[in-house]
A and B are shown apart, each in its own frame.
Chain A
Amino acid sequence: KAGVTQTPRYLIKTRGQQVTLSCSPISGHRSVSWYQQTPGQGLQFLFEYFSETQRNKGNFPGRFSGRQFSNSRSEMNVSTLELGDSALYLCASSPGLAGIMGYNEQFFGPGTRLTVL
């Protein structure tokens, strides 16, 4: 089974621009979560989508948004980029509901490395 794929893998933007990142989850998974990873703040939860609806949201400004399509693929958008948005953006997919073991494991993609100049 193919893993989580993220495109692009690397991106360089300048301040004020906007960017769209894409994530394709594992086939059959209905939940996609996005995380931002930086050396100073670690791995921080951005938002989660399940069946095209935002199910959870982290503490990020409104410049960060996302959406999920009917095929479970997800995109996140960052508008008006700031230098501090430079980070590794990770997407994780999961079945979406707790399984038999009561835990809904998530699988991470390789990430998109965004550099804002």
Chain B
Amino acid sequence: QKEVEQDPGPLSVPEGAIVSLNCTYSNSAFQYFMWYRQYSRKGPELLMYTYSSGNKEDGRFTAQVDKSSKYISLFIRDSQPSDSATYLCALGGTNAGKSTFGDGTTLTVKP
């Protein structure tokens, strides 16, 4: 069993929809919870990271962490075609140099 399991997708939604992306993990030692966005033929870019359980908001993006359930989510409000990408959850310690990634969920937002 993988340390991090991510909903595989792909997801296809109409523009303006709310998108929910989810990951579960098994190792309670993880301290930081990250979401990356990866466009085709590009490297991943960090969207958000959180440290504790709860919500963290950044514009249209909200990251949610539930450590008791070992469950993390990323919500995208008012989704745009430019949000079409693969979203990767990642977990790690204070040193991001060694992070464990989910397999990614490919999202397509249709105009």
Which residues of chain A from 7 to 57 have a CB within 8 Å of any chain B CB?
Answer: 31, 33, 35, 41-45, 48, 50, 55-56
Interface band, chain A: 20 to 34
Question: In the complex, which residues of chain B have a beta carbon less than 8 angstroms from the beta carbon of A41?
Answer: 103
Interface band, chain B: 20 to 34
* Cβ-neighbour of A43 out of B44, B51, B96 (below 8 A): B44
Number of A-B residue pairs at CB separation under 8 A = 74
Which residues of chain B from 72 to 108 have a CB within 8 Å of any chain A CB?
Answer: 88, 90, 94-104
B98:A42 contact, CB within 8 angstroms: no
A43:B49 contact, CB within 8 angstroms: no
Interface string of B43-76 (1 = CB under 8 A from A): 1111001010000000000000000000000000
Question: In the complex, which residues of chain B have a beta carbon less than 8 angstroms from the beta carbon of A109?
Answer: 43
The smallest beta-carbon distance between B104 and chain A, in angstroms, is: 6
Which residues of chain B from 27 to 50 have a CB within 8 Å of any chain A CB?
Answer: 32, 36, 41-46, 49
Evaluate whether A42 and B103 lie within 8 angstroms (CB atoms) in the complex, with A98-B95, A103-B49, A105-B46 already known.
Answer: yes
Interface string of A87-110 (1 = CB under 8 A from B): 000101010101000111111111
Q: Would you call A66 an interface residue if the criterion is a C-beta within 8 Å of the partner chain's C-beta atoms?
A: no
The smallest beta-carbon distance between B86 and chain A, in angstroms, is: 10
Q: Which residue of B lies closest to A50 (CB)?
A: B97
* Cβ-neighbour of A90 out of B32, B43, B46, B104 (below 8 A): B43
Q: In the bound complex, how far is the Cα of B98 from the Cα of A61, in angstroms?
A: 17
Chain A residues with CB under 8 Å of chain B are 4, 31, 33, 35, 41-45, 48, 50, 55-56, 58, 90, 92, 94, 96, 98, 102-111
